[in-house]
Amino acid sequence: MSWRLECGACGRPVPRGLATVCPDCGKPLLARYELGTLDGAALRRAWAGRPADMWRYREIMPIEADEAPVTLGEGGTPLLELELGGDFDGLTLLVKDEGLNPTGSFKDRGLCAAVTRAVHEGASDFVIPSAGNAGAALAAYAARAGASARLFIPEDTPEGVARRCDHYGAEVVRVDGLIDECGRLSAEYAEATGAFNISTLKEPYRIEGKKTMMLEIVESLGWRAPDAIVYPTGGGTGLIGSHKTLSELRDLGLIDGTTRLYAVQGSGCAPIVRAHQAGATHAEPWRDASTEAWGLRVPGALGDFLMLDALRESGGGAVAVSDEAMRAAALELGAAGVGAAIEGGATLAAARELRRSGELRDEETVVLFNTAHLLTY
């Protein structure tokens, strides 16, 4: 199925091609599908008969009927029920375990979709700023596509992360600074060399890959949307994608009702939490960002307004938790058999706070996202 692009802020239509951001306001672009031409019930039947990977949803993804994806078998990750008791008695608590993707994180979905679209539009060289997992994913998918990749990563990124990127043949550049400085250098490199900048929300298709997590959740629940999700939030692509997916599924007549979206950030870097609590429409950059959860150490995000809209429109919220609480909760998930990275632990710590405050209520179905495997660190 074909699609069009429009600015998520000003609504301007933008030609597809090798798309980046809105030429008017510089904000992220969103893919829009002609959902009214699709039969939701027929889609359900078609999707059920296909292999359990993310491309089974291709009718509402950025790929033409005659195109093949650049794939490593991403998607189809398990939705596991947790029986933790205590604060969680009365809830159906589930974890979407994204650590079982090819390079060990949910970044595979977004980079798979973005690389697929870019190479079909003629890209052969890529650049990305990364705290680690996105870099590894780009390195792998660029290698799969026969393309080159340069990664700018903070100097204090764990050595094992850099080694994973090296393994796939990417060029790794360590930077004295955080992800925002890596982003600046990536933009400069793209401008100087013509490499395609595949940074978070600097192109429209990482959202489309990430949204398949919510598609799988809803399908696993028998085409019923969960009551709430708790999402570890840095750049916010997956949170935005979840909100977009739920809207698309309602338009297709496949679900009704709403799902409350909750963002969780580290107390040492919580720009979205602060903005949400202040009732702001944009998030001011966080000074001196510090957290052990590298995936959450994003001082400022291009899609801040889209995240805040998603939280408010869904009736959800935002929670900040300490590194100590994240670590303890990651171990609690480990005791339940889930190999959670610290960002996954953050969702359990946040869910406990939300349960105690009454935000999560008896007999609700709540989904936590474990976005990466503990071995990615």
User: What are the residues facing 148 on neighbouring strands?
Assistant: 125
Core vs surface per residue 328-338: b (16+ CB within 10 A) or e? ebbebbeeeeb
- Rounded Cα gap, residues 95 and 368, in angstroms: 5
Within this chain, domains 79-105+205-376 and 107-197 share the same CATH topology: yes
Boundaries of every domain in the chain? 3-58, 79-105+205-376, 107-197
Q: What is the DSSP string of 147-160?
A: -EEEEEEETTS-HH
Q: What angle do CA 188, 5, 74 make, to 5 degrees?
A: 75
How far apart CA 195 and CA 145 sit, in angstroms, is: 15
79-105+205-376 topology per CATH: Rossmann fold (3.40.50)
Q: Quickly tell me which residue has 């963002």 as its tokens.
A: 263
Alpha-carbon span 44 to 51, nearest angstrom = 13
Sequence-distant (6+) residues with CB within 8 A of 13 are: 4, 5, 6
**Rg of the chain taking only CA atoms, in angstroms:** 19
From first to last of its 377 residues, the chain has per-residue pLDDT tens of 589 999 999 999 999 999 999 999 999 999 999 999 999 999 999 999 999 999 999 999 999 999 999 999 999 999 999 999 899 999 999 999 999 999 999 999 999 999 999 999 999 999 999 888 999 999 999 999 999 999 999 888 878 888 888 999 999 999 998 888 999 999 999 999 999 999 999 999 999 999 999 999 999 999 999 999 999 999 999 999 999 999 999 999 999 989 999 999 999 999 999 999 999 999 999 999 889 888 898 889 999 999 999 999 999 999 999 999 999 999 999 999 999 999 999 999 999 999 999 999 999 999 999 999 998 87
Helix (H) or strand (E) holding 27: none
Q: How many CB atoms lie within 10 A of CB 163?
A: 11
Angle at 322 between CA 319 and CA 326, to 5 degrees: 90
Of 2.40.50.100, 3.30.750.24, 3.40.50.1860, 3.40.50.1100, the CATH number of 107-197 is 3.40.50.1100
The pTM of this model reads 0.95
- The Cβ of residue 3 has, within 10 Å, a number of other Cβ atoms equal to 17
CB contact at 8 A, 245 and 215:
yes
Q: In terms of DSSP bridges, do strands 125-129 and 29-33 run parallel, antiparallel, or are they unpaired?
A: unpaired
CA atoms within 13 A on the CB side of 39: 4
